[in-house]
A and B are shown apart, each in its own frame.
Chain A
């Protein structure tokens, strides 16, 4: 029973593919998988927008959307009909293009943004036997394809002929390039220890259990540091608060998608959430054991449910951070990436190498922890001392 539920979608796909004539079956298989990915993530995007607004409302002690229900019925669904209303609104809104805009590039930018981010979903292992594209270089594919979104940001900002758009694009690109370095370096540690760039192989390396602890990479000194660096850099990479300077409302109105309206704006919005899903899925795959259950007695829950639970956990963390943290300043953002995250990511590589070569035991834990925590403390203290930050003094409040 548990196994049938676990392989439900795999069997469903096989059954559907079997309906086609044999010559068409490879094509049908590919098309079905692609359709499933697009449908699932588009639905998830719609749900997450409501979850985010409700979550922010909860944090700010208000309700959030709770009125819109299903159209033509009296069902309210706690406001989860909101995405339908939003979608209709985006579709019937005027598609406004500035008179001086570069029309071709302006039109292509949202597509150039959404397509690479959708492509990254191909290498995420969603469950047992549910890896759409088992590439030998899956992790590299993920980062390479995702890098295409940076160019789309530039296209959007430049083609709008608006100085705030261009400022936003410049901020976004500078930020994305800076944080891509620690992001990739923290993923490299996992590749080093798992010995493979294939996402499927990386998850399989984490499926075991050692005592009460699963063999997830996050439960090692280098893995914990790598996970924290990865999710911090991924937050910055998807331009989310507290790293949402590219769209700082009080400074540059809305950043690079300022001159977009209607469904093109919705596509940028969608791309941002797709980026978050991809980052969360990759974080789960690399560090949290992918579709693996945390304990053997929990394995009756299907593997795909675990994957999506871990991914949505990351989304929840992002919503929580957005409701909690203030925005950084541009120079703080850059200093944090280059002076703090990058050295730590490099040190973490050494820790992962030591972990790989030392024999299992307590000594390995102690040495790796010292290698990771030592530089963290030294670097943090050193950078803060140079800032001359002391105890906060309230000059006028006393």
Chain B
């Protein structure tokens, strides 16, 4: 365990703990970003450049933004007045402990634990690309298809709200609908003001 790993681990854990304990949801989301960054740093420390930077690009550049937007558009930035923790938290803790114990027992008994650690492999980005485009092309395509379906579904949900409105509009007025992202902006002020 090197010093750099220690720093990264402490940073990641602190971010993750802050993300579940802070009261203000936006602060939670920002703390989660710290945890994401720590994970990316851990990947980089393991010489997994491609995965590390993809983690930054996708999780910090897109997922974190999605989370803060979702927080702003759904319930406002005000911290909750009541207690943040449910009263039944000991039960949750017990369930989590049982699930973790089961998983840990299953993994420690599986073949993966007994397997010899692989010799130091230098996985270049080119090799990752080759593998994704040849051997794992089907899972990649399926994942792409899934994301496309989710995208189309999201657009459909966003459009249905507007359909009756635009039907009842005067014939003469052209209803030039803004695209989805600016539609998001239209609704922003109602719940978005912190």
Chain A interfacial positions (CB closer than 8 Å to B): 102, 105, 135-137, 140-141, 143-145, 147-148, 150-151, 154-155, 158, 161, 163, 166-167, 170-171, 173-174, 177-178, 180, 196-197, 330-331, 333-335, 338-339, 387-388
Contact = CB atoms under 8 A, between A and B. Distances in A.
A102 B124 CA distance: 43
Nearest to A140: B53
A144 B54 contact: yes
Nearest to A100: B194
A283 to B, nearest CB: 19
B61 A150 contact: yes
Contact of B68 (A141, A158, A330): A158
Secondary structure type dominating chain A contacts: helix
25 contacts: A105-B30, A136-B124, A141-B49, A144-B54, A147-B60, A147-B62, A148-B61, A151-B61, A151-B65, A151-B68, A158-B68, A158-B194, A166-B192, A167-B185, A167-B188, A167-B189, A170-B184, A170-B188, A171-B185, A173-B69, A174-B181, A177-B62, A330-B185, A331-B176, A388-B174
Contact of B194 (A144, A166, A177): A166
Given A136-B124, A150-B61, A144 B53 contact: yes
A173 B65 contact: yes
Contacts, number: 102
Contact of B57 (A135, A147, A178): A147
A154 B65 contact: yes
Interface in B58-114: 60-62, 64-65, 68-69, 72, 77
A102 B72 CA distance: 15
Q: Assign chain B's interface to a size class.
A: 35 or more
Contacts of B65: 150-151, 154, 173, 177
B50 interface: yes
Interface in B26-75: 26-27, 30, 33, 49-50, 53-54, 56-57, 60-62, 64-65, 68-69, 72
Interface of B: 24, 26-27, 30, 33, 49-50, 53-54, 56-57, 60-62, 64-65, 68-69, 72, 77, 124-126, 174, 176, 178-179, 181-182, 184-185, 188-189, 192-194
Given A144-B53, A147-B60, A147-B62, 13 more contacts: A105-B26, A140-B50, A140-B53, A140-B125, A141-B53, A147-B57, A148-B56, A150-B61, A150-B65, A167-B188, A174-B181, A178-B181, A330-B178
A141 B185 CA distance: 30
B54 A140 contact: yes
B56 A135 contact: no
Nearest to A104: B27
Q: Which 7 residue pairs spanning A and B have beta carbons closest together?
A: A147-B61, A331-B178, A144-B57, A144-B56, A144-B53, A174-B181, A140-B53
Nearest to B189: A163
A158 B181 contact: no
A148 B126 CA distance: 25
A150 B66 CA distance: 11
B62 A331 contact: no
Contacts of A147: 56-57, 60-62
A197 B49 CA distance: 11
The listed residue with most A CB atoms (<10 A of its CB), out of B27, B50, B53, B68, is: B53
B60 A148 contact: yes
B193 to A, nearest CB: 6
A88 B176 CA distance: 49
B30 A335 contact: no
B125 A136 contact: yes
B174 to A, nearest CB: 7
